[in-house]
Chain A
């Protein structure tokens, strides 16, 4: 069902994040080598690195695109306790001749006293806003009151979460001002992602922790809640998969919020999809190096016959190994 191909990334250290722009024609990567690279898709469908520059003085954890309505704008965040906003400059310089573009820093957000672990632009309809979260558990929401001036950002909210934050995700709906805590998740969370809403009457949230979890958040009907106050949600867990064996590192939704991709300690990328009965199933597995698992990426589970022939070679992880016996 899926075929993977390798792209020479040329980062000197681990890549921590990959991010597409609104149209999927541009891509940004960031790495422990302290740089961000911007990639453009050519007419033939190949990716070409058109910019690469040092952005921070520490590992760059995340990079994210603003909606193109605001221009070609990126935000990055780093271990160096800052987040930064970058804008592409189109000039008549030599860069252009070499097929390179030029990015300038518009602002540095220095409010955090610890590593900034995630940065995300708000949905377009909210204006030019971005949220950061940091290792000391503070979520900050910034706004650029004048969309034409990317160097002016005002800190709108500072929310202390008391626990170290690793990731944030904007809900794609219109309003924000709500408080729900998923108390059922008790292990460290490595990533969360709201699905693109696409006109559904509820929200879908994917959580990467020691397993992949999918929650739905159904707004409680207005008539039933007391007037005013934030919308209450009825939260249901609709899927929970421990196929990654131990930690799940990332989750990402496709454009319609119908396919979820996850990555985990088993070194595989897995795809999840709900059938018409709202049963979520694994629809594809690929190894981190792009090769299909057991030569069959469509099958949900790894080939059982092969697995039983060589049980001691299975590279499984302790998270879910309680069923195993020590021999």
Chain B
């Protein structure tokens, strides 16, 4: 504190006040700024606190150390140790009428002048103040003063006048200490031991000494260099820290012979070491020229056994500000809070955080422990579904019976929330596959049925080299284009793509109508165009422009289309091929790509990634020759597999290829629910037996278990056993229902309530019931158990073997 380096102290009782001392004492008041603006003249201490200067005291020059009186009254009474060894009582309080007025200005004078190094108020007898001084050959270095003792007039008045000019008549000098200890020695640091009012621990010149005031002739001491900054752990009164240069020694007073441990040495000398008063075993240290406070977290209760176990120490460091730190002070009551001051007196208030431990619950809430507190955190219900995690999504989808609509298979994407275009594509694909498998089986049983589920890639392959192209007339134009003659396989492929319906009619009319109904005008126009019906395409665009939600610009596109000319070098062609790249809608873009393309080269359409896979594949089936088509499908399949894009299931079907594709989808999304239900839709047995498929199914069942969706799992198992008879159907399904009738009180079984297949039954489902009812889900999982009687049960009975 030699004028340049400020020190900082919190008031022991008025916890919103602190003092910064360098050449003068400045008292500050701390305020929270959480709900208010920063007041004029306040200094910001942290994001949510600021300090206001209350008063400055410059009465006491040559300050070496300061200690705050530990009693509540009088407020802001400080003892200041000076360079000449005197100790002065001074006040920063506004209350000058206090009954302790006499104390203020009192001075305690040693026989021989030398520097005062340290001060310590006795925590039990509040009037006792210990002062540690430099060495003097003929004097003691530890003086214990009673601040209430009467003044002694036999002191040289000269000195008195000089040191306290202006207040001569009230100044009181005390020259007779209560105790004098440590003759011909130096005292560098002091602290009272909380064990007994009369025990004082002092860091002397070359030893640590415990003085017992009941018998001053005796002292306990240990030779050591670590004599600076002695301080007692407020939580374990036998644990003491002291330091020397860059090293901190921790002592156990019960075995005082040597330090119980020394902390890792710092490269620079330490300036302050302090135990956290609000938390066990946390020691803060500061070195010279550093902007870091190093913390040592001693993580256990010292056991009385006192064996050799070293405490687990976790070292941490905090950087409260960018500048070097001059000093710091722990807040006396706020947990782990401290204030630091830099040499140029900027201050900052901050809290050292406890190590937070955390855990996720299976129903996506996060619990964490910070210090002694627990916090639970749950995802908000009303969140945008796109941001929801897959865990939440799968849970909601399970509740809405996603995957279980085996009749209107496409509806599953609605059950999934109707938000994911890939899922939409997947479930439509599976829907068509199911539909045409049944169709095939009816026509010629056991023939091509299985081929449908093998995807377009296999279908196309099976018809290699059997197709020839022929020229077809454009309707509404005097133009002809080469179109492949559609064989049975290509028709099937177009059916799976959704372009044409059942039967042998190659008519996209119904498909166009449904697209128009859905408001997908651009797509409809493109499909019309690909079917060589430019008039219909223009008509659709006009329709779109005039509809409510439509885009007026579609008229402009229609106009551009109508200007189509077959002339190779026309302006129209030139403009369209450059301007088409500026169209935002991929379907409008591919329309012009198609019209301006050279015959037989359709890359502008085929490799436009924003166009749905089903439309590109259907286009390819119409326009590419067998070998081209094969190459294209092969390439696209690999692309889809790589990306884990569910649209690709159209190509791979539910084959090994499909499993590969699904594998990258699961790797990417974690959506084992879709993977399981998709594979259970119609995969051949050898695919179902694939290790990966089994693993997805197992994982999904495990999720349902964790969520306690018991009969969702039962439904899943029944669904599974339909396709894979070898997967053990639940003979116990019926038997488990009575369990759900258990009253909530009878929960928490002790013995493992395990059935043969690992079915664990725990009662109480009311919470899920409540949650589900709150949610948007159409059907609440757990509202069923209690009403799960006759009709529902009978629905399942035939399936249970």
Nearest Cβ in chain A — how far from B504, in angstroms? Answer: 41
The reply to whether B370 and A289 form a contact with Cβ atoms under 8 Å apart is: yes
Specify which of B47, B317, B360, B749 lies most central, judged by the most chain A CB atoms within 10 Å of its CB. Answer: B360
The reply to whether A255 and B301 form a contact with Cβ atoms under 8 Å apart is: no
CB within 8 Å of B: which of A294-313?
Answer: 306, 310-313
Q: A15-B357, A15-B369 are contacts. A1–B322 as well, Cβ < 8 Å?
A: no
The reply to whether A269 and B358 form a contact with Cβ atoms under 8 Å apart is: yes
Q: A269 contacts which of B350, B366, B390, B766 (Cβ < 8 Å)?
A: B366
Asked if B667 is at the interface (CB within 8 A of a chain A CB), the reply is yes
CB within 8 Å of A: which of B667-698?
Answer: 667-670, 672, 675, 692, 695-696, 698
CA distance A251 to B767 in the complex (A): 28
The reply to whether A253 and B369 form a contact with Cβ atoms under 8 Å apart is: no
Q: B47 contacts which of A24, A58, A283, A310 (Cβ < 8 Å)?
A: A310
The reply to whether A70 and B752 form a contact with Cβ atoms under 8 Å apart is: yes
The reply to whether A59 and B300 form a contact with Cβ atoms under 8 Å apart is: yes
Q: Please, which residues of chain A bring their CB within 8 A of the CB of B300?
A: 32, 58-59, 79, 115
Which residue of B has the minimal Cβ distance to A251? Answer: B358
The reply to whether B364 and A255 form a contact with Cβ atoms under 8 Å apart is: yes
Asked if A250 is at the interface (CB within 8 A of a chain B CB), the reply is yes
Specify which of B375, B703, B705, B767 lies most central, judged by the most chain A CB atoms within 10 Å of its CB. Answer: B375
Q: Which one, A151-159, A176-184, A198-206, A227-235, is touching chain B?
A: A198-206
Q: Which one, B22-30, B377-385, B791-799, is touching chain A?
A: B377-385
Q: A13-B372, A310-B44 are contacts. A290–B764 as well, Cβ < 8 Å?
A: no
Q: A88-B750, A200-B666 are contacts. A266–B766 as well, Cβ < 8 Å?
A: no
CA distance A135 to B300 in the complex (A): 14
Asked if B738 is at the interface (CB within 8 A of a chain A CB), the reply is no
CA distance A119 to B452 in the complex (A): 52
Asked if A261 is at the interface (CB within 8 A of a chain B CB), the reply is yes
Which residue of A has the minimal Cβ distance to B384? Answer: A1
Which residue of B has the minimal Cβ distance to A81? Answer: B309
Nearest Cβ in chain B — how far from A310, in angstroms? Answer: 6
The reply to whether B357 and A5 form a contact with Cβ atoms under 8 Å apart is: no
Asked if A286 is at the interface (CB within 8 A of a chain B CB), the reply is yes
The reply to whether A6 and B374 form a contact with Cβ atoms under 8 Å apart is: yes
Q: B706 contacts which of A13, A24, A29, A258 (Cβ < 8 Å)?
A: A24
Specify which of A12, A32, A69, A255 lies most central, judged by the most chain B CB atoms within 10 Å of its CB. Answer: A255
Q: Please, which residues of chain A bring their CB within 8 A of the CB of B390?
A: 256, 258
Q: Please, which residues of chain A bring their CB within 8 A of the CB of B370?
A: 267, 288-289
Which residue of A has the minimal Cβ distance to B365? Answer: A24
Asked if B474 is at the interface (CB within 8 A of a chain A CB), the reply is no
Nearest Cβ in chain A — how far from B354, in angstroms? Answer: 6
The reply to whether A326 and B361 form a contact with Cβ atoms under 8 Å apart is: no
CA distance A79 to B425 in the complex (A): 56
Which residue of B has the minimal Cβ distance to A45? Answer: B767
The reply to whether A312 and B346 form a contact with Cβ atoms under 8 Å apart is: yes
Secondary structure at chain A's binding surface: helix, strand, loop or mixed? loop
The reply to whether B353 and A266 form a contact with Cβ atoms under 8 Å apart is: yes
The reply to whether B360 and A326 form a contact with Cβ atoms under 8 Å apart is: no
Which residue of A has the minimal Cβ distance to B759? Answer: A69
The reply to whether B369 and A246 form a contact with Cβ atoms under 8 Å apart is: no
The reply to whether A90 and B322 form a contact with Cβ atoms under 8 Å apart is: no
Q: A2-B380, A269-B356, A288-B354 are contacts. A199–B312 as well, Cβ < 8 Å?
A: no
Q: Please, which residues of chain A bring their CB within 8 A of the CB of B359?
A: 17-20, 27, 252
Nearest Cβ in chain B — how far from A37, in angstroms? Answer: 10
CA distance A193 to B550 in the complex (A): 51
CA distance A19 to B374 in the complex (A): 12
CA distance A24 to B706 in the complex (A): 8
Q: B357 contacts which of A6, A16, A68, A283 (Cβ < 8 Å)?
A: A16
Measured as residues with beta carbon below 8 angstroms from the partner, the interface class of chain B is 35 or more
The reply to whether A261 and B360 form a contact with Cβ atoms under 8 Å apart is: yes
Nearest Cβ in chain A — how far from B747, in angstroms? Answer: 9
CA distance A28 to B695 in the complex (A): 30
Q: A263-B355, A312-B321 are contacts. A24–B361 as well, Cβ < 8 Å?
A: yes
Q: Please, which residues of chain B bring their CB within 8 A of the CB of A15?
A: 357, 369, 371-374
Nearest Cβ in chain B — how far from A66, in angstroms? Answer: 10
Asked if A72 is at the interface (CB within 8 A of a chain B CB), the reply is yes
The reply to whether B748 and A69 form a contact with Cβ atoms under 8 Å apart is: no
CA distance A313 to B300 in the complex (A): 32
CB within 8 Å of B: which of A235-266?
Answer: 246-247, 249-250, 252-259, 261-266
The reply to whether B379 and A289 form a contact with Cβ atoms under 8 Å apart is: no
Q: B750 contacts which of A90, A261, A319 (Cβ < 8 Å)?
A: A90
Which residue of A has the minimal Cβ distance to B305? Answer: A57
Asked if B663 is at the interface (CB within 8 A of a chain A CB), the reply is yes
Asked if A145 is at the interface (CB within 8 A of a chain B CB), the reply is no
Measured as residues with beta carbon below 8 angstroms from the partner, the interface class of chain A is 35 or more
Which residue of A has the minimal Cβ distance to B758? Answer: A69
The reply to whether B389 and A327 form a contact with Cβ atoms under 8 Å apart is: no
A27-47 Cβ-contact flags toward B at 8 Å (1 or 0):
101011010000011111101
The reply to whether B750 and A6 form a contact with Cβ atoms under 8 Å apart is: no
Q: A22-B706, A310-B47, A327-B323 are contacts. A4–B360 as well, Cβ < 8 Å?
A: no
CA distance A89 to B46 in the complex (A): 51
Q: Please, which residues of chain B bring their CB within 8 A of the CB of A87?
A: 750
Asked if B291 is at the interface (CB within 8 A of a chain A CB), the reply is yes
CA distance A249 to B299 in the complex (A): 14
CB within 8 Å of A: which of B319-370?
Answer: 319-324, 346, 348, 350-351, 353-370
Nearest Cβ in chain A — how far from B332, in angstroms? Answer: 19
Q: A3-B378, A43-B770 are contacts. A255–B668 as well, Cβ < 8 Å?
A: no
Q: A249 contacts which of B322, B356, B754 (Cβ < 8 Å)?
A: B356
Q: B355 contacts which of A2, A45, A88, A250 (Cβ < 8 Å)?
A: A250
Asked if B708 is at the interface (CB within 8 A of a chain A CB), the reply is yes
Q: B391 contacts which of A69, A259, A324 (Cβ < 8 Å)?
A: A259
Q: A69-B758, A79-B300, A88-B750 are contacts. A313–B361 as well, Cβ < 8 Å?
A: no
Q: B377 contacts which of A3, A20, A90 (Cβ < 8 Å)?
A: A3
Q: Please, which residues of chain A bring their CB within 8 A of the CB of B280?
A: 13-14, 32
CA distance A258 to B394 in the complex (A): 12
The reply to whether A263 and B357 form a contact with Cβ atoms under 8 Å apart is: yes
Asked if B159 is at the interface (CB within 8 A of a chain A CB), the reply is no
Q: A23 contacts which of B380, B751, B762, B770 (Cβ < 8 Å)?
A: B762
Asked if A217 is at the interface (CB within 8 A of a chain B CB), the reply is no
Asked if A318 is at the interface (CB within 8 A of a chain B CB), the reply is yes
CA distance A148 to B718 in the complex (A): 31
Which residue of B has the minimal Cβ distance to A271? Answer: B366
What are 13 A-B interface contacts by the 8 Å CB criterion?
A1-B379, A2-B380, A15-B371, A27-B361, A147-B752, A199-B672, A263-B356, A264-B356, A269-B366, A269-B377, A273-B389, A288-B356, A318-B292
Give the interface of B toward A (CB within 8 A). 44-47, 279-280, 291-292, 299-301, 303, 309, 312, 316-324, 346, 348, 350-351, 353-380, 383, 387, 389-391, 394, 663, 666-670, 672, 675, 692, 695-696, 698-700, 703, 705-708, 744, 748-752, 754, 758, 760, 762, 764, 766-767, 770
User: 12 extra interchain contacts, Cβ-Cβ under 8 A, other than A44-B767, A250-B358?
Assistant: A20-B359, A24-B363, A32-B300, A43-B744, A199-B675, A199-B699, A265-B318, A267-B354, A276-B669, A312-B346, A313-B350, A327-B323
Question: A-B pairs with the 8 shortest C-beta distances?
Answer: A267-B353, A24-B361, A263-B356, A15-B369, A288-B370, A4-B377, A90-B750, A199-B696
